[in-house]
């Protein structure tokens, strides 16, 4: 059974013993962030706890962070296990389910319009030392392509400017950015609804980097096996998930920018102060006793890595070439910059072809380095991968560098002039660490097979404990 809302998912995470309740009051300025950071320092990502702050900054509105931080938990979000995640992702996203309109919606239990609009109803932390202000880090921006009416949902971190104004940074290639530019070119304002605290399948879908034209709410429906229930907004022509904890309704005006930043981004560095678009909030609706959900961003590991596992699963699904066995977007690569693919190699040249295939997917567009290995190498085992690179890879023959292609905007190593122009052009490389098919190559050593089987059978007798 899918979760009805964020609350049911939190209850499941707590039942599984994965959630810690912070009952003491904690400061929204820096203290929440420090606790979130130490949560990763203590045991790494996979042992990090879901954190439920009961009294953030004296608020009665609780704040939940790192809910989807581990493989176990983001797999639980689609009711599967980490080893089945990629296969289940591929299966379910083939069958999107359209959202359905409902009448009764918990997100309408409280409606604030006009002068009653106050973003300070939400406990919004200042996460890191040099952040320019408080940031909403897990907002689900819902909007429509003004030309086609096609819905889009994405997550774009948002600075709190004042009680009625929320910043937004969406990279140039993000769908919402493409859409607001279309509206602004016609001189029109661009309506946006921001849902906060939603069924976890919406969070996974919003972050997954589906091809342009995909309705992420329909994908969330596919992931949970039941449609997402939606209701119309009060002030703008958009529909929002009925069980969202908070919904902010607003507009991005043309030719209006506001200074924002810096912000400690998911790549692990502070971004630049910049003049960016913002959303003028016209209505806030929320459930009774609402919960604010956020993610803490920093150098790996952080929850962003888990969320970007969806990119890995999606790049796997989108890759058009045969022979791809496993795909790992490893932790240190911020999950988006490095890809390691294992293939069943049947012809020479296939390694580099697969590298291009992955770089060519929508979800693989942030990949800078792709490493391709044979099927006997586990791409999730970095010792295996480095062994393949040490013994099967010749840079002069097996390395391809592709220049002047669109990169990941948060990569601070992008040449300065390209950052300034906003073109974010980078070079990318394919490392083909697969063995040749036609040329002879030495065999990998292994003990004698039948003897090994006997050794395993009789292991006890050797007294090795």
- Residues marked active site are found at 265
Task: Tell whether residue 151 is a contact of ligand FMN (CB under 6 A).
Answer: no
Which region among 28-36, 168-176, 277-285, 297-305 touches Mn ion (by CB under 5 A)? 168-176
Task: Tell whether residue 176 is a contact of ligand FMN (CB under 6 A).
Answer: yes
Which region among 38-46, 51-59, 148-156, 326-334 touches ligand FMN (by CB under 6 A)? 148-156
The residue among 191, 171, 211 whose CA lies nearest residue 362 is 211
Q: Tell me the three-class secondary structure of 319-334, residue by residue.
A: CCCCCEEEEECCHHHC
Tell whether the torsion through CA atoms of 137, 139, 140 and 146 is positive or negative. negative
Among 48, 80, 128, 152, the residue binding Mn ion under the rule CB under 5 A is 152
Query: Among residues 75 and 209, whose Cβ is nearest to ligand FMN?
Result: 209
Whole-angstrom Cα Rg for the chain: 24
Distance CA 444, CA 435 (A): 11
Task: Tell whether residue 175 is a contact of Mn ion (CB under 5 A).
Answer: yes
Query: How far is the first Cα of the chain from the last one, in angstroms, to the nearest whole number?
Result: 44
- The secondary element (H helix, E strand) that includes residue 51 is strand 50-53
Nearest distance from residue 178's CB to ligand FMN, in Å? 8
Q: What are phi and psi of 356, to 5 degrees?
A: -70, -35
Task: Tell whether residue 317 is a contact of Mn ion (CB under 5 A).
Answer: no
Among 138, 240, 247, 291, the residue binding ligand FMN under the rule CB under 6 A is 138
Query: Among residues 207 and 350, whose Cβ is nearest to ligand FMN?
Result: 207
Task: Tell whether residue 328 is a contact of Mn ion (CB under 5 A).
Answer: no
Distance CA 176, CA 273 (A): 21
Shortest-Cβ-distance residue relative to ligand FMN: 154
- Residue 235's contacts (CB-CB under 8 Å, 6 or more residues apart) are 113, 249, 282, 283
Query: Among residues 222 and 323, whose Cβ is nearest to ligand FMN?
Result: 222
Residues 284-303 that bind ligand FMN (CB under 6 A): 295
Among 7, 49, 73, 175, the residue binding ligand FMN under the rule CB under 6 A is 175
Residues 196-225 that bind ligand FMN (CB under 6 A): 207-209
Among 22, 63, 119, 155, the residue binding ligand FMN under the rule CB under 6 A is 155
Tell whether the torsion through CA atoms of 250, 255, 259 and 260 is positive or negative. positive
Among 9, 53, 169, 329, the residue binding ligand FMN under the rule CB under 6 A is 169
- Record the tokens describing residue 99, joined without a space: 């959202």
8 A C-beta contact, residue 399 and residue 429: yes
- Residue 114's contacts (CB-CB under 8 Å, 6 or more residues apart) are none
| Chain positions contacting Mn ion, by CB under 5 A | 152, 175
| Chain positions contacting ligand FMN, by CB under 6 A | 137-138, 152, 154-157, 169-171, 174-176, 207-209, 295, 304, 307
């Amino acid at each position: 059974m899918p979760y009805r809302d964020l609350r049911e998912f939190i209850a499941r995470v707590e039942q599984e013993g994965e959630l810690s309740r912070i009952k003491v009051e904690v400061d929204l300025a820096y203290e929440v962030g420090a606790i979130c950071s130490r949560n990763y320092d203590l045991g790494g990502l996979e042992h990090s706890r879901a954190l439920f702050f009961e009294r953030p900054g004296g608020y009665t509105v609780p704040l939940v962070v790192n809910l989807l931080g581990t493989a176990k938990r983001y797999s639980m979000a689609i009711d599967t296990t980490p080893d089945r995640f990629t296969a289940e992702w591929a299966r379910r996203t083939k069958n999107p389910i359209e959202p359905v309109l409902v009448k009764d919606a918990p997100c309408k239990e409280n409606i604030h319009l006009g002068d009653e609009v106050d973003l300070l109803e939400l406990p919004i932390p200042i996460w890191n030392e040099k952040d320019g202000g408080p940031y909403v880090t897990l907002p689900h921006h819902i909007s429509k392509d003004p030309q086609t009416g096609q819905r889009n949902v994405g997550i774009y971190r948002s600075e709190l400017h004042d009680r009625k104004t929320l910043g937004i940074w969406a990279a140039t290639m993000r769908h919402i950015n493409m859409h607001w530019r279309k509206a602004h070119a016609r001189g029109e304002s661009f309506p946006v609804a921001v849902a906060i605290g939603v069924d976890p399948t919406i969070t996974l879908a919003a972050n997954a980097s589906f091809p342009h034209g995909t309705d992420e709410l329909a994908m969330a429906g596919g992931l949970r096996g039941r449609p997402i229930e939606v209701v119309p907004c009060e002030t703008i022509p958009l529909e929002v998930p009925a069980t969202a904890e908070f919904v902010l309704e607003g507009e991005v005006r043309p030719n209006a920018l506001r200074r924002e930043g810096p912000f400690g981004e998911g790549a692990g560095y502070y971004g630049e102060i910049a003049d960016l678009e913002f959303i003028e909030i016209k209505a806030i609706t929320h459930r009774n006793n609402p919960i604010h959900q956020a993610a803490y961003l920093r150098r790996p590991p952080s929850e962003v890595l888990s969320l970007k596992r969806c990119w890995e699963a999606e790049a796997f699904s989108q890759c058009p070439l045969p022979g791809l066995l496993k795909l790992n977007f490893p932790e240190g690569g911020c999950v988006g910059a490095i890809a390691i693919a294992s293939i069943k190699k049947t012809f020479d040249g296939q390694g580099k072809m697969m590298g291009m295939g992955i770089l060519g997917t929508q979800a693989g567009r942030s990949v800078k380095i792709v490493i391709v290995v044979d099927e006997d190498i586990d791409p999730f085992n970095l010792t295996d991968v480095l062994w393949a690179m040490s013994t099967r890879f010749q840079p002069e023959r097996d390395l391809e560098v592709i220049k002047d292609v669109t990169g990941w905007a948060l990569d601070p190593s992008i040449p300065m002039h390209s950052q300034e122009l906003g073109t974010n052009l980078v070079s990318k490389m394919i490392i083909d660490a697969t063995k040749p098919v036609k040329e002879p190559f030495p065999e990998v050593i292994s003990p004698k097979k039948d003897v090994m089987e006997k050794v395993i059978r009789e292991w006890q007798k050797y007294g090795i404990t």
